[in-house]
Structure 1
């Protein structure tokens, strides 16, 4: 596998040094100051006693199954009276049905949650056993676990640190004559033109997959919006999608239309990932979480991340976006809480977290982890860039989020930006009525 560490230094190190992930996590929206009302008070977490019984671990990452299975084997050697069974659902199903399945501990003694709407929903239902007073919190970077807390209580621990921005085939960028990433909108469009001229699909975008079509929106709005909490304000009614800044974003989606693959608005994530893995596309508009999946399809070219900078030269506030998600929590109704907590502690050990990270291609929020995975090292410079906490997860109403994201899909499908915005705003107004 070719390494991008030396060849792509110019691409990864463009621009001035950023403020860093820690600063972005503290300042960004969604950083743990949620307004949820935990209507059901969960019972205290049982952490003492010998871990016994089989822990049901509910999550959505089937691609992590083998790595987690190896970690489970090591866990059982340490705690022979305990076991772990993975209960895995596709991400879309997990998003919609996880609460119903884990409530009452039918499954998910230890479980994960998406940042934002799902996390807040599970908190309100009282499913989390609070972790605030446990020792496991000290193993995590404090600046990155805010999305697992609300009203001063740490309910879950975001385990994954990902970058929700286009993944780049840097061999393709080399062939297009680009050894540094664009720093303005004109430069980004020029990059796409040059990729197209060399026979590449400039951007592979899963416009038909609701779970991932909106990932691109994170970076499209990061420098257009008048405030970092732009989607919180759209949901509350303080901003509208008919405002000039969002209309500009939709107009820029229209400018991107010629650079997407054919029938982009109906494309699945699997289809565009395959296109990218075959070396036929310059950018994959999902995120760093796709790196392992692309490698599994046989790709050998080096990776980096390239975000669309939608602002004029010298006006960008952010270089990219990140997210902390895969929020680990212990079920308040679990009958094997000591074992579930012990497995959470086990995953939180830096050595075990490193095995998870290197094996799955995911950065983690655990302190003291040293990565050996080539791809994680390749995108590691983004850990110190000026990045915004991914704004699409600010939405707590998923119907409103869908309306906003669907407006962008509609524009790529041929609808006028103003019309797409007006239709989306009607849905938002109805939901808020």
Structure 2
């Protein structure tokens, strides 16, 4: 789930991250710590001891493999008696099988988790070695790591700061006559019409990819919903998908249909990323996590983040969404805990986190990291 962030809070956030913000604030549903019972009691974390042995690092980002491999080489140079093997699964598989695989430390001395249900499930199973009180926690921006905590205990550290907003080819937008982001629904539809008239596919949407097809929903509901925790309240039954605000969102999805690429409901993320990277689409409806993929395909054009504003400018509270995920944790059953913790500390060092951020195109939650891959700017003439 995404988290609420008003314009002023966003500016503070991005300043702390070494980023400016041009399109205003991020926001969205959910975000608090879980109330999940921790179930079994995990063992205390071994933060000291000889750093030796091979650490299994379980995660789902195959696209980060080379960058992480480079960091592992530097880690091994610092700790010659230690090593790290990456155990990588596709994200969909990781969501369904990670707990079974990491429980008992079959793999994943250091592992990642998705925020929300998977994190809560792993906490309940007692797999996390609690990090509360460990020095590494202080390396992170406190406001961004709450999805890795529950009942006052920090079990994991969300490493990635993700903006669940469409990427925009700003060259295409310029050619369509739009030099600033639309501030209302009519303006957004006008942008799409103008992109279409210039021969672009207005929105490249991965409708055939379950993991990414729903990314657009985050921004479609952010200004329609009656509260920021709308998805949590749908799950609890307090809100329903037959409520007026949700039906309005579905109607607006219908209005977007003519602007998607052909056969959109069967399109993969790879296919639409290629379409966007070739300069044939104005918007790519995924999120900031796809920036590196676009650049890897050879795209040279500048891009930014542009979210649909589904209401009037006067009623719009938010202009985007963000969340933190890729929750790093140490396995309570690991036989090489000191080495696993040492690698967690290594990844959390600002210099190394910066290497990861710039090498993968990801933003991170570690304090003092300046990401040079994608920098948003604040307009000097802005009235806000």
Displacement after TM superposition at 1:26 (Å): 12
Q: CA RMSD in A?
A: 2.0
Pick closer, same or farther for the CA change 1:131–1:381 going to 2, 3 Å.
farther
Query: Structure 1: how far apart are the matches of 2:370 and 2:313?
Result: 36
More divergent stretch after superposition (21-30 vs 242-251): 21-30
| Mean Cα deviation higher: 282-291 or 363-372 | 363-372
- Contact 1:67–1:359 (8 Å) recurs in 2: yes
Q: Which residue of 1 aligns with 2:366?
A: 366
Measured after TM superposition, the shift of residue 17 of structure 1 is 5.0
Report the counterpart of residue 19 of structure 1 in structure 2: 9
Give the Cα separation in 2 of the matches to 1:26 and 1:359: 24
- Check conservation: 2:29, 2:222, Cα contact below 8 A: no
Q: Which residue of 2 aligns with 1:257?
A: 257
Please report how far the alpha carbon of residue 266 of structure 1 lies from its aligned counterpart in structure 2 after TM superposition: 1.1
Q: 1:158, 1:325 within 8 Å by CA — same for their partners in 2?
A: yes
Runs of 5+ in structure 2 lacking a partner?
A: 1-5, 15-24, 380-384
Distance in 1 between residues matched to 2:320 and 2:378, nearest whole Å: 12
Give 1:17-416 correspondences, 5 Å limit.
18-20=8-10, 30-373=30-373, 376-377=374-375, 379=376
Specify the SS of the correspondent of 1:325: strand
- 1:370 CA displacement: 2.1
C-alpha deviation, 1:115, in angstroms: 1.0
| SS of match in other structure, 1:358 | helix
Specify whether residues 345 and 26 from structure 1 end up closer, same or farther in structure 2 by C-alpha distance, changes over 3 A only. Answer: farther
- SS of 2:195's partner is helix
Is residue 22–residue 144 contact of structure 1 (8 Å, CA) maintained in 2? no
Task: Report the more deviating stretch, 28-37 or 156-165.
Answer: 28-37
Q: Is the 8 A contact 1:330 1:337 kept in 2?
A: yes
* Cα 1:267/1:381, change in 2 over 3 Å: farther
Whether the aligned pair in 2 keeps the contact of 1:32 and 1:148 (CA below 8 Å) is: no
3-state secondary structure, aligned to 1:202: strand
Structure 1 residues 299 and 26, CA gap change in structure 2 (3 angstroms): closer
| 1:107 Cα offset (Å) | 0.6
Equivalent-residue separation in structure 2 for 1:23 and 1:223 (angstroms): 21
Deviation at 1:34, TM superposition (A): 1.0
Instruction: Check conservation: 1:30, 1:116, Cα contact below 8 A.
Output: no
Residue by residue, what CA displacement relative to the aligned partner does 1:190-225 show, whole Å, maximum 9, x if unpaired?
Answer: 000000000000000011111000100000000000
Please give the per-residue CA displacement for 1:230-257, whole angstroms capped at 9, x wherever unaligned. 0111111111000000000000000000
Q: Gaps spanning 5+ residues in structure 1: where?
A: 1-15, 383-433
Distance 1:116 1:22, change over 3 A: farther
CA contact (8 A) 1:26 1:143 kept: no
Say which SS state the counterpart of residue 310 (structure 1) adopts. Answer: coil
How many pairs are equivalent?
365
The 1:192–1:29 alpha-carbon spacing in structure 2 relative to 1, beyond 3 Å, is: closer
